[in-house]
Amino acid sequence: MKVSKTYEEINEKISKGDAVVVTAEEVITLVEEKGLEQTAREVDVVTTGTFGPMCSSGVFLNVGHSTPRMRMSKVYLNGVNAYAGIAAVDVYLGATEIPEADPANQHYPGEFNYGGAHVIEDLVAGKEVRMEAYSYGTDCYPRKKLETLIKLEDMNEAFMFNPRNAYQNYNVGVNLSDRPIYTYMGILKPNLGNANYSTSGQLSPLLNDPLYKATGIGTRIFLGGGTGYVSWYGTQHNPCANRTDKEVPRAPSATLSLTGDLKGMDPKWVRGVSYLGYGVSLMIGVGVPIPILNEEMLRSAAIKDEEIYTQIIDYSEGFPFGKGGSLGEVDYAQLKSGKIIIQDKEVPTAPLSSYPKAKEIAKILKSWIQKGEFLLTEPVASIPSVDSGKKMKPLKIRCIEEKEEFDG
Amino acid sequence: MMAKHKIVLLFPAAVVEQPFLYHLVKDYNLFVNIIRANINPRKEGRLVMELAGEQEDYDAGINFLESRGVTVMPFEQQVKWNEDRCTQCGACTVICPTDALKMIRPEMIVEFDESKCIVCEHCFKACPARAIVAHY
pLDDT at A402: 66
pLDDT at A404: 62
Q: Which of B87, B93, B98, B105 to mutate to test the interface with A (most CBs of A within 10 A)?
A: B87
Higher pLDDT, A285 or B18: A285
Residue closest to B128 by CA, chosen among A27, A251, A354, A293: A354
Q: Which long-range contacts (CB under 8 A, 24 or more apart) does A339-347 make?
A: A340/A172, A340/A195, A340/A312, A342/A174, A342/A192, A342/A195, A342/A312, A343/A192, A345/A192, A347/A174, A347/A192, A347/A193, A347/A194, A347/A195
In chain A, where are the structural domains located?
59-99+128-158
- Taking CA A194 as the corner, what is the angle to CA A190 and CA A198, rounded to the nearest 5 degrees? 125
Pairing of strands A345-351, A339-342: antiparallel
Q: Which of A231-235, A326-330, B41-45 has the lowest mean pLDDT?
A: B41-45
Inter-chain contact B105–A351, Cβ cutoff 8 Å?
Answer: no
For residue B108, the chain A residues in CB contact (below 8 A) are 336, 351, 354-356
Whether the pLDDT of residue A140 is over 80: the answer is yes
- Report whether A89 contacts A65 (CB < 8 A): yes
Does the N-terminal peptide bond of residue A379 adopt cis geometry, omega within 30 degrees of 0? Answer: no
Inter-chain contact A275–B128, Cβ cutoff 8 Å?
Answer: yes
Which residues have CB under 8 Å from A8's CB, separation 6+?
none
Q: Which of A183, A354, A357 to mutate to test the interface with B (most CBs of B within 10 A)?
A: A354
Higher pLDDT, A407 or A342: A342
Residue closest to A312 by CA, chosen among A169, A135, A166: A169
Three-state SS across B52-118?
EEEHHHHHHHHHHHHHCCCEEEEHHHCEEECCCCCCCCCHHHHCCCCCCEEEECCCCEEEECHHHCC
Name all domains of chain B by residue range, CATH numbers in brackets.
2-76 (3.30.70.260), 79-134 (3.30.70.20)
- Report whether B130 contacts B92 (CB < 8 A): no
Mean pLDDT over A159-170 rounds to 98
What does the pLDDT look like over A365-392, one tens digit per residue? 999 999 999 999 999 999 999 999 999 9
Cα maximum dimension of chain A: 82
Measured CA to CA in angstroms, residue A57 lies from A95, A256, A275, A291 at distances of 5, 11, 16, 27
Q: Is the ipTM of this complex over 0.85?
A: yes
Mean pLDDT over A171-188 rounds to 98
Of the partner residues A187, A274, A350, the one whose CB lies closest to the CB of residue B90: A350
Helix (H, G, I), strand (E, B) or coil at A367: helix
For residue B129, the chain A residues in CB contact (below 8 A) are 271, 273, 283
Question: Could you give the CA distance from residue B16 to residue A81 in angstroms, rounded to a whole number?
Answer: 44
Annotated active-site residue A140? The verdict is yes
Question: Could you give the CA distance from residue A83 to residue A133 in angstroms, rounded to a whole number?
Answer: 11
pLDDT at B41: 86
Mean pLDDT over A177-188 rounds to 98
How close is the nearest chain A Cα to the Cα of B41, in Å?
23
Whether the pLDDT of residue A405 is over 70: the answer is no
Residue closest to B93 by CA, chosen among A315, A339, A329, A356: A339
pLDDT at A407: 57
Question: Could you give the CA distance from residue A63 to residue A239 in angstroms, rounded to a whole number?
Answer: 38
Helix (H, G, I), strand (E, B) or coil at B10: strand
A21-23 β-sheet, strand order: A21-23, A45-47, A289-291
Q: Is A200 on the interface with B (CB under 8 A)?
A: no
DSSP B43: S
pLDDT at A408: 53
Cα maximum dimension of chain B: 51
Question: Could you give the CA distance from residue A274 to residue A295 in angstroms, rounded to a whole number?
Answer: 42
Q: Strand runs (DSSP E) across A315-358, as ranges? A: 329-331, 339-342, 345-351
For residue B103, the chain A residues in CB contact (below 8 A) are 338, 350
Question: Could you give the CA distance from residue A336 to residue A290 in angstroms, rounded to a whole number?
Answer: 24
Q: What is the b/e burial string over A297-329, where b = at least 16 CB atoms within 10 angstroms of the residue's CB? A: bbbbbbbbbebbbbbbbbbbebbeeeeeebbee
What does the pLDDT look like over A56-82, one tens digit per residue? 999 999 999 999 999 999 999 999 999
Whether the pLDDT of residue A7 is over 70: the answer is yes
